[in-house]
Amino acid sequence: MHEWALAESVIKTVETKPELKNKKIKILLGELQDIDEEIFRFAMDELLKQRESQIKYSIVVDEAVFKCNECGREFFMSEITKKSKAQRENIHFIPEMVKAFVKCPVCDSIDFDIVKGRGVMISYD
Amino acid sequence: MTNLIDPRENIIAERFKDVKKIFLVSGFKGGIGKSLISSSLSLAMNDLGFKTGLLDMDITSSTDHIILGVKDKFPEEKNGILPVEIYGIKFMSFYFFTMSKPFALRGNDIKDAVKELLCVTVWDKLDCLIIDMPPGFSDAALELMRLINNFKVILVRTPSPLSIDIVSRMSGIYKDKGFKTIIVNNMSKDTTMGNSIRYDTSIDDAIGNVTAIKKTQFYRDVLSLSSDMIKA
């Protein structure tokens, strides 16, 4: 599963960044990438067990926000026309593929930014 | 204050730890034969007995799949994404995810897409990986230079003074960073020059058919360069 690769990247980061030592981290799962939270959590727990690691984490789904570079309108996942299973899967692998399948709901432009909620990020205080 | 860290960068070195040699195929200009050379070089390395991977890094204009005649294949998901196996080569391309739709990306999107593919692709053990670079020297090249630091650069040039000029000017960026560069003279009419691939019009007719590619003079010239390259 692709979720395992991303979970592995989170654990590797926490293990190597001194600023994350003994911190409780929040893992943001970008709504756009549509990570399966259950699989991701299972992968995290299994990998932590294998490494005998004590990392404390919580998971939050980060809402995706887009902004059109032509008309300036911000838009959300709920405004995007429902995509096929294959298209959703390709966005899941590489979130930038949203640019191949989605246009601004107002002006139909293909030129928009992913403002937030793209993929996996680690948040900490 | 809340801080954010992108975790993907920390796994990339791990993804390449069992790849013995990495060759970036660049040349900065479009239409000079980078993709044909990258694809043929992968086939040639594989023919020479080296376990080879090919990564098409041209995100919006990938074509290596057309050259190799890749159809009806999709990378498998297994603790990441496994490259497709074709003619003994492990092959990965953004083409698999675009469904042949045209699309445009800005700089940050290119950086993110490159990082994502490098983070999730599981190459496992390879003797060599060929990376087919897009034209120019911008986000994809800079991101690769930052994230992978053990590659050699194959600089493709044609007899055109424009191509010769741009290679001689831009190669300095790689050299200054300590990357070894190898110049390959494509579409060459002077066979006495080193690392030359002769101009061969039959290669266009062979695109999409690996058996036909391997019968061309172009492929024979690439094959003869390959054994020197792997030793470089």
Residues A36, A14, B131, CA angle at the centre, nearest 5°? 70
The SS3 of residue A74 is strand
CATH number of A3-124: 3.30.2320.50
pLDDT digits (tens, 9 = 90+) for B70-88: 999 999 998 899 999 999 9
Helix (H, G, I), strand (E, B) or coil at B4: strand
Helix (H, G, I), strand (E, B) or coil at B142: helix
ipTM: 0.92
Dist. CA B141–CA B24, nearest whole Å: 9
Whether B55 contacts chain A with CB within 8 A: no
Q: Residue A23 carries which DSSP code? A: P
Residue A23 confidence class, pLDDT cut points 50, 70, 90: confident
Contacts of B79 in chain A (CB under 8 A): 1, 4-5, 8
CA dihedral for B21, B136, B173, B106, sign (positive or negative): negative
d(CA B221, CA B188): 11
Residue B101 has its nearest CB partner, among A8, A10, A100, at A100
Contacts of A14-19 with C-beta under 8 Å, sequence gap 24+, read A14/A53, A14/A55, A14/A122, A15/A51, A15/A53, A16/B10, A17/B5, A17/B10, A19/A124, A19/B3
d(CA A94, CA B98): 9
For B38-68, how does the pLDDT look when each residue is reduced to its tens digit (9 = 90+)? 999 999 999 999 999 999 999 999 999 999 9
CA–CA gap between residue B20 and residue B125 (Å, rounded):
8
Interface of B with A in 58-77 (CB under 8 A): 59, 77
Q: Where are the domains of chain A?
A: 3-124
Looking at residue A22, its pLDDT comes to 83
pTM of the model: 0.94
pLDDT at A92 over 80: yes
Token pair for B69: 């005649």
- Judged by a CB distance cut-off of 8 A, whether residue A60 touches chain B is no
Q: Tell whether A76 is within 8 A of chain B (Cβ).
A: no
